[in-house]
């Protein structure tokens, strides 16, 4: 049976109270000094030197075991690790590739949004689904249609300027006629002096014509053409193009003016559909989502019209 | 007399060292909460068994070691262990003839006093621990006391 061995001589322990009081006072002094003056860092460090071997001795077997387990990891584990890491690397590289495209898309969307600041109307972002519908016509197919309130004659912008207008509307898609289409004309004015004229497409991507400029008119290379807003098809003040060449033949009454379109006609993927009806609430916040349907979609004058020209 | 005392100190040092090892042994969090205060029990045993061998000094030094390993304010465990060691030494003649059950109850009281001193100093130094798990350790210590008693008496006999 467990018991005390009673090796101690019975009787009073000499100076128990004295030693108790002494040690207690010492401990209290230590507490106060440590708490108040923070001078015991050195003592604590010295004592740590004493207790550190204990802690080291206690923890080293655990660390050694962990090291041992790591060292004798089986070949299978390593192979599994390798497969897993390769897979994650592939995934990361795939994501990295997407990143470039996303960055470009983001830049384009930001520019597009900056462009909408002055529209003051309802707008909707549309993606180009298909471009080369016909080899001889500058048309593109958008992924928004009558369900989204798109109507014939609606202005289409991109991040850099006027892109075209809607020529035909389907239920889910619509066809946009680019400003460079030979059958398209857009009322413009020269930003520098306000001269009004009409820019006509040439059928050649990247080139517009100003066929109604008289030889004496004040047009020089580098003039910016903006939409005039006349005719109500397009919002006023949007860049259409920059005059790239002016040829004046004294024998002719009209000058030959070529314009380079401002819109990235061959590069843009996201376009902006603009509603110009004054009753529509102005949207200044984030771009509406794709599924947004207009509260009062303006009815196209003739839903089956082939072309508004 | 001198030789006798030296012989008695070796198991004391050894047991205190082993108890310190057990006190800093890394344990899972669940077991951490119910880890008995081995060093306190060892100090109480030697305070009861052979106070003349320097039980109170052992209590003070062990308390300092606990303070350092736990990283608390220096002197906290030292004060608590000194006070409880002195109390145990004071009660030693009665404790020795107690039944094991009564001994466990006495140890429970001593450990509760120990925790109370720690609690008090924690509050006084501005970092109170309101975790109720602290009051579990006297129960654990009292339950493990018979085991400690057997092991330490065996060690003492050597």
The pLDDT of residue A299 is 42
pLDDT of the residue at A305: 41
Q: Which residue of B has its CA nearest to A52?
A: B69
**B-interface mutation test, from A31, A56, A57, most B Cβ less than 10 A away:** A31
Answer whether A31 sits within 8 Å of B121, measured CB to CB: yes
Task: Tell me what ipTM this predicted complex has.
Answer: 0.78
Nearest-angstrom CA–CA distance, A212 and A195? 11
* CB pair distance less than 8 Å for B153 and A5: yes
d(CA B133, CA A73): 39
Chain B touched by A251 (CB under 8 Å): no
Q: Cα(B100)–Cα(A4) distance, rounded to whole angstroms?
A: 11
Contact: A47, B64; criterion CB under 8 Å: yes
Quick one: tokens of B122? Answer: 């924690």
pLDDT, tens digit, for every residue of A249-275? 888 889 999 999 998 888 888 888 888
- Check B60 against A50: CB less than 8 A apart: no
Question: Do the beta carbons of residue A139 and residue A178 sit within 8 Å?
Answer: yes
Q: What is the mean pLDDT of residues A191-201?
A: 90
Task: Return the pLDDT at B79.
Answer: 92
Is 0.90 topped by the overall pTM?
Answer: no
Largest CA distance in chain A: 140
What is the Cα–Cα distance from B74 to B118, expressed in whole angstroms?
12
Binning pLDDT at 50, 70 and 90, where does residue A243 land? very high
Give B29→chain A minimum CA distance, Å: 16
Place of tokens 């924690």: B122
Tokens at A84, concatenated:
């897993």
pLDDT digits (tens, 9 = 90+) for B71-119: 677 888 899 999 999 888 888 888 888 888 899 999 999 999 999 998 8
Asked if the model's pLDDT at residue A16 lies above 70, the reply is yes
What average pLDDT score do residues A12-24 get? 77
Write out the two tokens for A133. Answer: 């519908």
Check B74 against A55: CB less than 8 A apart: no
Does A13 sit within 8 Å of B49, measured CB to CB? no
With a pLDDT cut of 90, the percent of chain A lying above it is 15
Nearest C-alpha neighbor of B76 from the set A307, A169, A35, A273:
A35
Q: Give the pLDDT band (50/70/90) at residue A135.
A: low
Asked if residue A282 has pLDDT above 50, the reply is no
pLDDT at A132: 62
Q: Which residue has the higher pLDDT, A33 or A36?
A: A33
For all residues of chain B together, what is the average pLDDT?
82
CA B7 – CA B16 distance, rounded (Å): 15
Share of chain B above pLDDT 70, in %: 87
For B76, half-sphere exposure in the C-beta direction (CA atoms, 13 angstrom radius) is: 24
The CA distance from A133 to A130, in Å, is 7
Q: Closest approach of chain B CAs to the CA of A128, in angstroms?
A: 60
Q: d(Cα A272, Cα A294) in Å, to the nearest integer?
A: 15
């Amino acid at each position: 049976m467990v018991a005390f061995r009673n090796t101690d001589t019975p009787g009073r322990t000499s100076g128990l109270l004295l030693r108790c009081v002494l040690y207690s006072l010492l401990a209290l002094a230590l507490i106060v000094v440590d708490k108040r003056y923070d001078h015991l860092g050195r003592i604590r460090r010295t004592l740590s030197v004493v207790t550190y071997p204990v802690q080291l001795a206690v923890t080293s077997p655990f660390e050694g075991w962990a090291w041992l387990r790591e060292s004798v990891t089986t070949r299978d584990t390593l192979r599994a690790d390798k497969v897993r890491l390769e897979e994650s690397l592939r995934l990361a590289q795939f994501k990295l590739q997407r990143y470039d495209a996303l960055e470009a898309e983001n830049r384009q969307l930001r520019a597009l949004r900056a462009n909408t600041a002055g529209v003051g109307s309802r707008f909707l972002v549309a993606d180009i689904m298909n471009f080369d519908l016909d080899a001889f016509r500058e048309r593109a197919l958008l992924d928004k249609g009558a369900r989204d309130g798109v109507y014939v004659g609606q202005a289409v912008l991109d991040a850099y300027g006027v892109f075209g207008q809607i020529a035909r509307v389907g239920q889910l898609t619509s066809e946009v006629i680019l400003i460079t289409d030979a059958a398209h004309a857009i009322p413009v004015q020269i930003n520098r002096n306000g001269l009004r004229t009409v820019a006509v497409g040439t059928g050649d991507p990247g080139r517009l014509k100003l066929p109604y400029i008289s030889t004496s008119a004040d047009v020089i290379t580098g003039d910016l053409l903006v939409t005039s807003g006349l005719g109500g098809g397009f919002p006023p003040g949007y860049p259409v193009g920059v005059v790239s060449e002016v040829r004046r033949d004294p024998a002719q009454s009209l000058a030959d003016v070529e314009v380079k379109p401002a819109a990235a006609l061959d590069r843009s993927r996201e376009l902006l559909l603009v509603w110009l009806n004054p009753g529509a609430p102005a949207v200044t916040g984030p771009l509406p989502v794709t599924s947004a349907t207009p509260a009062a979609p303006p009815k196209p004058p003739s839903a089956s019209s082939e072309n508004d020209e | 007399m001198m030789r006798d005392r030296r012989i008695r100190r070796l198991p004391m040092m050894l047991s205190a060292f082993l108890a310190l090892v057990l006190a800093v042994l890394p344990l899972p969090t669940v077991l951490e909460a119910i880890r008995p205060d081995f060093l306190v029990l060892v100090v109480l045993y030697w305070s009861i068994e052979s106070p003349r061998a320097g039980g109170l000094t052992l209590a003070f030094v062990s308390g300092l070691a606990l303070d350092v390993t736990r990283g608390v304010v220096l002197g906290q465990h030292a004060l608590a262990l000194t006070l409880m060691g002195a109390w145990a030494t004071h009660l030693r003649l009665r404790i020795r003839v107690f039944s094991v059950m009564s001994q466990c109850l006495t140890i429970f009281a001593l450990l509760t006093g120990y925790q109370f001193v720690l609690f008090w100093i924690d509050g006084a130094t501005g970092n109170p621990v309101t975790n109720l798990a602290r009051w579990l350790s006297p129960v654990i210590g009292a339950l493990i006391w018979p085991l400690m008693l057997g092991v330490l008496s065996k060690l003492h006999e050597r």
